[in-house]
Structures are given as C-alpha cells and as structure tokens.
Structure 1
Amino acid sequence: MIEAKRTPDERFKDVPDFDFPVRYIDDLPGYEGLRSAYIDAGPADADRVFLCQHGEPSWSFLYRRMIPVFLETGARVICPDFLGFGRSDKPVRQEDYSFDFHRNWLIALVERLDLTNITLVVQDWGGLIGLTLPVAPGFEDRIKRLIVMNTGIGTGASPGPGFMMWKAYAASTPDLPIGALIARGTPHLTPAEIAAYEAPYPDASYKAGAQIFPALVPIVPDMPGAAIGREAVKFWSERWSGPSFMAVGAADPVLGPTQMEALRKQIRGCPDPMIIPDGGHFVQEWGEPIARAAIAAFGGR
C-alpha cells in the first residue's frame, strides 16, 4: 500500500475562476486506495473530448483559461490531476514516483472513462507522458488531434542547460516555493492565482512529487521512459495523420522556441507554431487566444 496524503478540501475553497465539476476515482487497477481527481466538464455524450494534461509543478487549474473555449464547441473536457498534484492524493515517498507509475495511471484513467475521439492537449510533463499515449495498446485510434505547448518527448537526451539547472534546484529544495516559481515567468498572475498554485500543498510533506519529477525526465538513453519515448517519436513522425496545433511561449528558458522547433519536426504535418512573445513556460496562462486559434485551425470545433 502506497502511503499518501490528501489535501483538505478547504484548501481549494478560494481558488478563483475554476468552478468546473470535479470527479474522484479511487479504484483504478493498480492504484486502489489512491484517490485521483479530474475535471469533467461538458456533455458526457459529446462526440469529442479535449484531454488536458498539466505538468510540473502545476495542476489542472493551469487550464482554466482554455477550458471555457473548448466547452464553447460542445465538446467534453477532461483535465486530470496527476497523482502528487492538485486535488489528487500525494504519495509521500519519492521512490513511489516513476515515469511508468504516472503513464500507466493515465492509461488506466482514459480506459476507465472510455475516452475516444480525443484532442490531446499537452504541456511540460503532460507532453512527456501524453505524447507516448498513442503507442499504448489500443490507443492509436483514440487520439485524433493534438494541441502541444512547451514540452518534449523524453528519448534519452537533455533538453539543455536550463533544464539541468532546474533539475539541480528541485533536487536540493524539498519545500519548493511553487506559487512563486510559476509567478516568476508569469508576471500577470494575481495573488489569488499564485495562492491557487500553492493550494494543493499545505506543507513540504505534500511536495514529494513536485520535487522528484525533474529527476524522472528521461535524459539518459536507458532511463525509464526513454525507450517508449523513442517509440512515440516514430509514431508522431511516421504514422500520425491527424491535425496538430503548436503554441510556444517564447520566454521559456527551458523548453522555448529551439526545443519546440525540434519537437515540431518530429510531428508529421505539424504547421508553424503560434508564438507567444512574452509567454513563459506555463503558456496556458496565455491560454484563451491559444485555444481560440487552435479551434479555428481545426475548423471551429
């Protein structure tokens, strides 16, 4: 049994502009007893679903500016909180976190909800994991469109010196100042929004996932996740035939235009990106115009 903490609900009572239906599930195969949270908005019988995946150290709150635009199209929107983040339970031991632990969890959630006709919406770790979904058994036909922002596919190479500095900082800082970190590259955040990013973590004992995630990025060829990442690159570059939309926060010091251009070349048919000149790593904070541009590129739905 994995020891985990559960953030008290009252920590989320003052989260602004995030009044979307929250669902919980605690019996996913292999994750019994761990409560997972996800936003589930829009018609349950919609013919399309936007699957929005956050990264490190954020949570589904990051998508609050994009969700309403997706809902306007009549689609369903699912935004999970990875275990260790947001409203989901938080294993307290760093050794309980791994690439496969989170990838298999996401696969199990998609299968439980039986999501099809998926528009994959990814950024940061949401892309590291989410971009490998099409090579999971039975998943290639589930995913029809892609919106990709400031992320990469972990194939066994470092994204660059900016990432290595972040990895070293996270490893040496057990009580990560999460709200301040996100605000550093997102200067327009209000105090209430900064507090919302801190809300999942009453104290440092809830932050094992936030601290360990950078060390799990597959930057060495034999690291867990690297082989599946290389398989995913082959899918996106050789077999992908759906529409793609890319947005890039140009001010991101870790996964900015250079890294994103390398990713764009790995995605068959991906057009030139929408550049957000002042957008930082958490580019969903500029999300409404990104979502509207993506919907327009997809023909209005």
Structure 2
Amino acid sequence: MITALRTPEERFANLPDFDFPVAYVDDLPGYEGLRIARVDAGPVDADRVFLCLHGEPSWSFLYRKMIPVFLESGARVVAPDLLGFGRSDKPAQQSDYSFTFHRNYLIALVERLDLKHVTLVVQDWGGLLGLTLPLAPGFDERIERLIVMNTGIGTGASPGPGFMAWKNYALSTPDLPIGALIARGTPHLTPAEIAAYDAPYPDASYKAGAQVFPALVPVEPDMEGADIGREAAKFWSERWPGKTFMAIGAADPVLGPPAMERLQKLIRGCPEPMVIPDGGHFVQEWGEPIARAAIAAFGGK
C-alpha cells in the first residue's frame, strides 16, 4: 500500500496562462487509490491527440505555451502529471518511485482514454518514458507522430559529469528549490510562473519524486529501464514509420545540441532540428514558435 500526499487545490488557484480543463482518475489498474491529474482539452472525438509528457521537476504547466497552438489545429490535448508531480498524488517514499511504475502508469492511462492518432510530445523524463511507449502492445499503432525536445533514451550509457552533479545534488537536497531551479535556465520567467512551478509542493515532504527521479535514469546497463530503452532505440532507428519534429534548447548544458544530434541520427527519418539558441533545458518555455513550426512541418494540423 502506497502512502501518498495530495496537494491542496487552493495551491493551484490563479495559475498564469493555465486555465485548461483538468480531469482526474483514481482507479487505474495497479494504481487504485492514487489520484492522477491531466489537462484534457479540445474535442474528445478529435482526429488527432497531442499527448504531452513533462519531465522532472516540472509538471504539465510547462506546456501552457504549446497547448493553445495545438488546440487551434482542432486537436485534443492530453497533458498528464506524473505521479509525484503537479496535481497528481505524490507517493511519500522515494522507494515508491521506479521507471516501471511510471511507464506502466502512462500505458494504463493511454489505454483507459483509448487515445489514437497520437502525436507524442516529449522532453526530459517525458522522453525517457514516452519514447518506450511504442513497445507496449498496440501502441505502435496508436502513436503516429513525434515532437521531441531535450531528452534521450535510457539505454544504460554512462552520462556526462553535468548529469551526475545534478543527480547528487537532488539526492542530497530534501527541500529542492523547484521554481528557482527551473528559472535558473529560463531567465524570462515571471515571479508568478516561478511560483506555479513551486505550487505542487507545500513542503519538502511532497518532493520525494523530485529528489529521486534523477537517480532512476538508466545510466548503467543493468539498471531498471535500460533493457527496454535499448529495445526502444532499435524501434526508433529501424521501425518508426511516422513523422518527427525535433526542437533543441541550445543552452541546455546536459541535453543540449550534442545529445540531441545523437538522438536525431538515431530516429529514423528525423529532419534537421529547430534550434532555439537561448533555449534552456525546459525549452517548452519557448514553446509557442516550436508548436507552430511543428504543426507547419506536419502539414498544418
């Protein structure tokens, strides 16, 4: 039985530019009793669905500049909050968090909503998890297009010193300054936007996921998730039939141009990326032009 904390709703009052419909589910198979939140906007019967997956330590608020553009195209947008983040419940123990726990949650949610004609939109942990989803039974038919930003596939390869420094800092800092960390590479954030990134966490007890997530990245061959990461790499390089749009925040010191250029070469048919010269790791904060360029590259919808 997982003990989880629930952020009071009043913490999410008056979020800047984030007045989108929110839906909850608390009976996903294997996750009964854990309340999971998602933005779910646009027509339920739309021809296309943009599935927007955030990373760590952010939440679906990160997509607020891209969601309106996707909605303008007539699509449905689903942007879930990972367990431990945003409006979703937050398991209290670091041991509750694992690669498989979160991957299976995303699979269960997509199956519950029966999402089809999906454009997968990923960054950071959204990519580590999301880029493995086509390996779930039937998901290669659900996912038709990809928008990929500042992320990677966890195959067990050794990371650089920048990532290791981040992992060690997160594990040793119980009360992570979430908003300040995101603002460090995103200097144009307003105080209200910084506060919105802090909103899910009334105190340090809510931050177990934010603390432990960097340590869960499959950076050694025998770590959980590395096997399926290697399978996913083969899928994207050998079997991916869909269209891809890549955007790179060039100022990201860990998952910037070198890492993304390697990913571009891996993804079958991936065209030259859109580069945001001053874009940091949380490149969705430059997201409106990225979303518009992606839709144009996909033919206008």
TM-score of Structure 1 vs Structure 2, range by shorter chain: over 0.9
Give me the whole-angstrom Cα distance separating, in 1, the residues matched to 2:159 and 2:108.
28
Q: Equivalent residue for 2:183?
A: 183
Cα distance in 2 for residues equivalent to 1:19 and 1:28 = 25
Q: Any gaps of 5 or more consecutive residues in structure 1? A: none
Aligned position for 1:125: 125
Q: Which runs of 4+ in 1 moved over 2 A?
A: none
User: Counterpart of 1:47?
Assistant: 47
Q: Which runs of 5+ in 2 are unaligned?
A: none
Q: Return the letter of the residue paired with 1:3.
A: T
What is the match of residue 80 of structure 1? 80
Question: Aligned partner of 1:246: which letter?
Answer: M
SS in 2 for 1:280: coil
3-state SS of 2:253 partner: coil
What letter is aligned with 2:38?
Answer: Y
SS at structure 1 position matched to 2:141 = coil
Structure 2 residue matching 1:107: 3-state secondary structure: helix
**1:222 to partner: Cα distance:** 0.5
Count of residue pairs the alignment pairs up: 301
**Whole-Å separation in 1 of the counterparts to 2:192 and 2:159:** 32
Q: 1:191, 1:55 → 2: CA distance?
A: 21
Using the TM superposition, give the Cα deviation of residue 15 of structure 1 relative to its aligned residue in structure 2, in angstroms: 1.1
In the alignment, is residue 274 of structure 1 matched against residue 282 of structure 2?
A: no
Q: Distance in 2 between matches of 1:236 and 1:120?
A: 13
CA distance in 2 between counterparts of 1:290 and 1:161 reads 29
- After superposition, residues 1-301 of structure 1 pair within 5 angstroms as 1-301=1-301
Give me the identity figure in percent: 82
Q: Find the residue that maps to 1:141 and give its secondary structure.
A: helix
Shift of 1:159: 3.1
User: How far apart are 1:134 and its partner, in Å?
Assistant: 0.3
CA distance in 1, matches of 2:4, 2:157: 32
Shift, 1:14, TM fit: 2.3
SS in 1 for 2:232: helix
CA displacement, residues 150-194 of structure 1 (integer Å, 9 cap, x when unaligned): 000000013311111111110110110000000000000000000
- Secondary structure, in 3 states, of the residue corresponding to 2:275? strand
TM-score (norm 2): 0.99
Pairwise CA distance, 1:64 = 0.1
Q: Post-superposition shift, 1:25?
A: 0.2
CA contact (8 A) 1:159 1:255 kept: no
